[in-house]
Copies of this chain bind each other. A is one copy, B any other.
């Protein structure tokens, strides 16, 4: 059996994701689709709308066969580390292909960009530094440097989030020397950051989340943008847990953490650099919500995303030391769910797998998975009192989801 891998967050799984899964199968000709999916906290430094178990279920009902969790150590990180961890897991799970959505849609763009950067590394780094000295954030400085050096018609827009990720996937494959064949699908209709639902059946996850929160949890408006299976899951989840989570649910905890932490200890947290701990501690008392806090904290030098990731690390109390102690390679495959086809695949693959497949938390120990467990516990504390205790026990007690599909 051939497998194609996808790197996802599914927050939540929508029609665009469904299209991506379908195209991944068509382009690769693979039998099974393996998704590596962020856990409770996402690459943009946000808590997931709903738990990883439900997001895995949506994926399995939407065409994916196996879902592995992308460990916290990779998930809440800048594109380079995020991509490296995800690609490493897909390779370790035996994928032959990885298929990603991109604004570009042309694989040759990525290779030419990578070659260009590799051959002009020194000049490129020089331009990035110059841009950062002028006060740009790192991502902006990088994309500007690229435009300054290569203003050709073949240029790929490296300021687009999915182009950046795609670029880092290909870079990781090259650098880790993995036998994964990359494929790319042009993203349809919706832009990653779109705030409003579009007029077609494709909408960005951002606009879907916004619709949920501005409509006070009313889901009706979403039904044409997500598969029926997702819609049913969202309705069920709301009934079971009473709410979808966002940063504001964690603000009391973040505020408490900051008000009882001194500068020295705050500076030990991962990504707290360059004296930003002083600024954080000055501002936390002025803010009465997370969005107010972020607005006060934001400067030209730091992207919103980087600041949010930093807040996630403060919230989960993840230290520089804890991250430094980890390998930069994946060390386990945490199984969140599978279809019966996925199970057949895994039964064969597990004999060859270089990494342990972790189905039950109790059966595996390690520093990297400790971070996942801490992140899961922290996530559970975002719920209202009535749901917190059950949410807290779910991560330990849940076995991987198993979905039996009817004959098609």
Contact = CB atoms under 8 A, between A and B. Distances in A.
A316 interface: yes
Contacts of A393: 285
A317 B261 contact: yes
Interface size class, chain A = 20 to 34
- Give the copy number: 2
A256 B381 contact: yes
B253 A316 contact: no
Contacts of A378: 256, 259-260
A246 to B, nearest CB: 15
Nearest to A390: B288
A377 interface: yes
B256 A288 contact: no
Contacts of A259: 374, 377-378, 381, 392
Chain A facing B: main interface SS = helix
A253 B251 CA distance: 11
A338 to B, nearest CB: 28
A385 B256 contact: no
A389 interface: yes
Q: Which 6 residue pairs across A and B have the least CB separation, nearest first?
A: A260-B317, A288-B389, A259-B377, A253-B256, A256-B381, A260-B374
Interface of A: 252-253, 255-257, 259-261, 285, 288, 315-317, 374, 377-378, 381, 385, 388-389, 392-393
25 contacts: A252-B252, A252-B253, A252-B385, A252-B388, A253-B253, A253-B256, A256-B256, A256-B257, A256-B378, A256-B381, A257-B257, A257-B260, A259-B377, A259-B378, A259-B381, A260-B315, A260-B317, A260-B374, A260-B377, A260-B378, A261-B317, A285-B377, A285-B393, A288-B388, A288-B389
